[in-house]
Amino acid sequence: MKGVSIKDIAKQAGVSPTTVSFVLNGKAKEKRISEGVSKKILKLATKLKYKPNQLARGLRTGKTKTIGLIVEDIANHFFANVAKIVEEEADKYGYKVLYGSTEDNLQKAKGLLEVLEYRQVDGYIITPTVNLDKDIEALKHARKPMVLLDRYLPNIPTNYVMVNNFQGAYDAAEYLMQQGFEKIAVVTITSEQIQMKERLDGFLAAMKAHRSGFPRKMLKKLSFAATKEEAIEEIKAFITSIPNLDAIFFTTNYLGIYGIESVKDLGLQIGEDIAFISFDDHDLFRLYSPGITCVEQPIHDIARNVIQVLMNELNNNTNQINQVVLPATLVKRGSCSKRLSGKSAS
């Protein structure tokens, strides 16, 4: 039950715990421990299956070799995939990951931050909620290694890794116009989340670049707190409120999923009666008939960059700020093939 300690090895090797510690930490050369002693200790360590007690080490060094991962929702396809890669990559560096979901709730986010601080994680990967500025500022001030994920706080310069939301949405809108769609609507959420704003901005910029403008009534904002049923009702009402609507863009995957459900409920055919694009890819989008065109985020690259940036901080603790913005890819599928018939969607 009890693990073997440095003392046990010291006793068996006939040396002091100090020497054992030096050798086991690879400081044999530096501390000029003799070859023989060094070898003997190493052999003993593997024989006894010595595992350093992380708690004791952490207490002494202040390092826990643990990182905290705060996402919006670990069950969401995007974040679940990020979590997987983050864990794999962190493992390579000897770090383990503690996680939690904010549900986009400020209080939950603060709570998670508090617990992780308390747990003395060495570094943080954070999907910030709106108004988390003060807490992030505090972390930054304490010089805690940290990298934001999926979004950033415009008023606080920090490390972050995210997709180019503006470009992704711009491409989507432009593509819809190239395909010849005339009445294009957009559905997003009310939240002030920066990545959502940028997606909307990108969409609107494309509309303005190619059209005379964008009427406010073609834009629908849903509350993040709305239940699925409420959201679907609102989307349905929105769609039917626009005569001759022929294309619609959803700014994130779960909205896109609600959108599919709404369109189905209305008895409309995606790709026939209405063109459809969503931000983020999903199994559903890939396999739906027709396939749903989407703006795909490079999840693997995002996760790998996050770890890269964090490890860099952890090991060098430079003051340099790393802000990584990765390109989004428009994945074209059947949902946006040009509608040839003249019939109205509503």
Partner DNA sequence: CTGAAAGCGCTTACAG
Q: Is 1 in the site for a copy of itself (CB under 8 A)?
A: yes
Give CA–CA dist 96/165, Å, rounded. Answer: 30
Nearest-approach distance from CB 183 to a copy of itself, in angstroms? 24
Nearest-approach distance from CB 166 to a copy of itself, in angstroms? 27
Site size toward DNA, by CB under 7 A: 31
Binds a copy of itself (CB under 8 A): choice among 99, 130, 218, 312: 99
Measured on CA atoms in the order 165, 169, 175, 178, is the torsion positive or negative?
negative
Nearest-approach distance from CB 192 to a copy of itself, in angstroms? 24
Nearest-approach distance from CB 26 to DNA, in angstroms? 10
Give CA–CA dist 315/318, Å, rounded. Answer: 9
Tokens (6 digits) for 18: 């100090």
Q: Is 289 in the site for a copy of itself (CB under 8 A)?
A: yes
Among a copy of itself, DNA, none, what binds residue 159 when CB lies within 5 to 8 Å by partner kind? none
Token pair 């929105």 in the structure block, residue: 238
Footprint on residues 48-67 left by DNA (CB under 7 A): 50-53, 56-57, 59-61
Q: Is 53 in the site for a copy of itself (CB under 8 A)?
A: yes
Is 53 within 8 Å of 3 (Cβ atoms)? yes
Give CA–CA dist 80/74, Å, rounded. Answer: 5
Binds DNA (CB under 7 A): choice among 11, 12, 37, 103: 37
Q: Is 204 in the site for a copy of itself (CB under 8 A)?
A: no
Among 18-26, 35-43, 81-89, 194-202, the segment contacting a copy of itself (CB under 8 A): 81-89
Q: Is 92 in the site for DNA (CB under 7 A)?
A: no
Nearer to DNA, 60 or 216 (CB): 60
Alpha helices (runs of H) in 283-334, residue ranges in sequence order: 283-287, 299-316
317, HSE (Cβ side, Cα atoms, 13 Å): 8
Among DNA, a copy of itself, none, what binds residue 84 when CB lies within 5 to 8 Å by partner kind? a copy of itself
Give CA–CA dist 335/337, Å, rounded. Answer: 6
Q: Is 34 in the site for DNA (CB under 7 A)?
A: yes
Count of residues making up the chain: 346
Give CA–CA dist 131/102, Å, rounded. Answer: 13
Among DNA, a copy of itself, none, what binds residue 50 when CB lies within 5 to 8 Å by partner kind? DNA
Among DNA, a copy of itself, none, what binds residue 315 when CB lies within 5 to 8 Å by partner kind? none
C-alpha distances in angstroms, 326 versus 211, 299, 300? 28, 10, 11
Q: Is 317 in the site for a copy of itself (CB under 8 A)?
A: no
Among 30-38, 68-76, 77-85, 230-238, the segment contacting DNA (CB under 7 A): 30-38
Give CA–CA dist 330/123, Å, rounded. Answer: 33
Find out whether the peptide bond into 290 is cis, omega within 30 degrees of 0: yes
What single string gives the DSSP state of each residue in 206-225?
HHHHHSS---GGGEEEE-TT
Give CA–CA dist 313/302, Å, rounded. Answer: 17
Among a copy of itself, DNA, none, what binds residue 5 when CB lies within 5 to 8 Å by partner kind? DNA
Nearest-approach distance from CB 145 to DNA, in angstroms? 18
First to last CA, the chain: 70
Q: Is 222 in the site for DNA (CB under 7 A)?
A: no
Nearest Cα neighbor of 251 from 196, 185, 171 is: 196
Question: Which residues are at the interface with DNA (CB under 7 A)?
Answer: 2-3, 5-7, 14-19, 21-22, 24-25, 31-34, 36-38, 50-53, 56-57, 59-61
- By CB under 8 A, name the binding residues for a copy of itself: 1, 51, 53-56, 58-59, 64, 66, 73-77, 80-81, 83-84, 87-88, 91, 96-101, 115, 117-120, 142, 257, 260-261, 264, 282-284, 287-289
